[in-house]
Amino acid sequence: MNEVIASRAPGFRPKVAVVLGSGLGGFADDVKAIATIPYGELADFPVTGVSSHAGQLVLGHVGPTPVAVLQGRAHYYERGRADEMKGAIRAMAGLGCETLLQTNAAGSLRLDMPPGSPMVISDHINFTGVNPLFGEAAGSERFVDMVDAYDPKLVEQMLSVARANNIICHDGVYIWFCGPSFETPAEIRAARTLGADAVGMSTVPETILARQAGLKVVAVSLMTNFAAGLTHDKLGHEQTLAVAREASGKVRHLLRAFLEGYG
Ligand code: HPA
């Protein structure tokens, strides 16, 4: 599929691959685009089933930085496959990307991190019991080191860009639940005990795949709600989208400033 990309953007070599999560697809408008390619034209790219995800690859620049923006991801809960993003992540590594920058919508486990708050992920907990590298052949690089999976320098850089732009940005641990049902209050209490700050249904498999492919990872969660049981608010995907859209300007600003000053 890299031939399709090469023919649409000859000689283009992105440095950063960006995955846009629920309600955050608008960032693609901040890219000075060279080419936009629907996932359907790219072999091994996912079919995105969540209506808020456009399902296209946007190649271009943010400031001086060449980027490949994946507008939309597929989730484990869509087909029960943890490796939905394998082809796309490997394609990004094959194009020469050195970093994967991810965004997602998440539930907050911290009362000091209300809906609308961004959080840079410092580490994750895979609570699902599945892994995108299940079935990888013996002899392949499957025993991936997950220490510093979220690149400490890039995490620090993201926090420092936030400070410089007067954006209040937290850092913390993201826990992956498989969804698509939301968590129970008991599960959220368990997650808090385990050390999680935010909960979501994505990002972790992409991080594992990216680390296997040698990409550095940095990720920003946007809190769209307090997690189950923290308040009496009703949880729902529409609420996730509405808050994500409303607060997405802050994350867009943060990503733009981060990429403008990237390496
Ligand atoms: N739980 C899981 N995923 C989510 C949530 C949540 O509370 N909010 C947004 N994505």
User: How many angstroms does the Cα of residue 42 sit away from the middle of ligand 1?
Assistant: 29
Atom of ligand 1 lying closest to residue 240 CA: 9
Ligand 1: nearest atom to the Cα of 244: 9
Over residues 150-202, the pLDDT tens digits come to 999 999 999 999 999 999 999 999 999 999 999 999 999 999 999 999 999 99
Pocket of ligand 1 (CB under 6 A): 105-107, 177, 182-183, 199-201, 224-225, 227, 235, 240
Tell how far the Cα of 231 is from the centroid of ligand 1, in angstroms.
14
Question: Taking Cα atoms as reference points, which of 145, 131, 158 lies closest to residue 218?
Answer: 158
Indicate which residue's Cα is closest to atom 2 of ligand 1. Answer: 200
**What is the full DSSP assignment across 71-122?**
E----HHHHT-TTTTHHHHHHHHHTT--EEEEEEEEEE--TTS-TT-EEEEE
Residue 235: per-residue pLDDT: 87
The C-alpha atoms of residue 225 and residue 233 are separated, in whole angstroms, by: 8
pLDDT tens for the chain, 263 residues long, are 578 998 999 999 999 999 999 888 889 999 999 999 999 999 999 987 665 568 999 999 999 999 999 998 999 999 999 999 999 999 999 999 999 999 999 999 999 999 999 999 999 999 999 999 999 988 779 999 999 999 999 999 999 999 999 999 999 999 999 999 999 999 999 999 999 999 999 999 999 999 999 999 999 999 999 999 999 888 888 888 888 888 899 999 999 999 999 97
Measured in degrees and rounded to the nearest 5, phi and psi for residue 175 equal -110, 130
* Closest residue CA from atom 5 of ligand 1: 107
| pTM exceeding the 0.75 threshold for the entire prediction | yes
Kindly give the number of the ligand 1 atom that is closest to the alpha carbon of 228.
Answer: 7
Task: Report domain extents, the chain.
Answer: 2-260
- The protein residue whose alpha carbon is closest to atom 7 in ligand 1 is 107
Atom of ligand 1 nearest to the CA of 108: 7
| 12 Cα to the center of ligand 1, angstroms | 36
Interval between CA 105 and ligand 1 midpoint (Å): 7
Question: Strand 99-108 to strand 16-20: parallel, antiparallel, or no bridges (unpaired)?
Answer: parallel
- Among 3.90.76.10, 3.30.360.10, 3.40.50.720, 3.40.50.1580, name the CATH number for the domain at 2-260: 3.40.50.1580
pLDDT at 23: 83
Q: Which of the residues are catalytic?
A: 22, 53, 75, 77-78, 105, 201-202, 225, 237
pLDDT at residue 49, as a whole number:
62
Q: How many angstroms does the Cα of residue 122 sit away from the middle of ligand 1?
A: 18
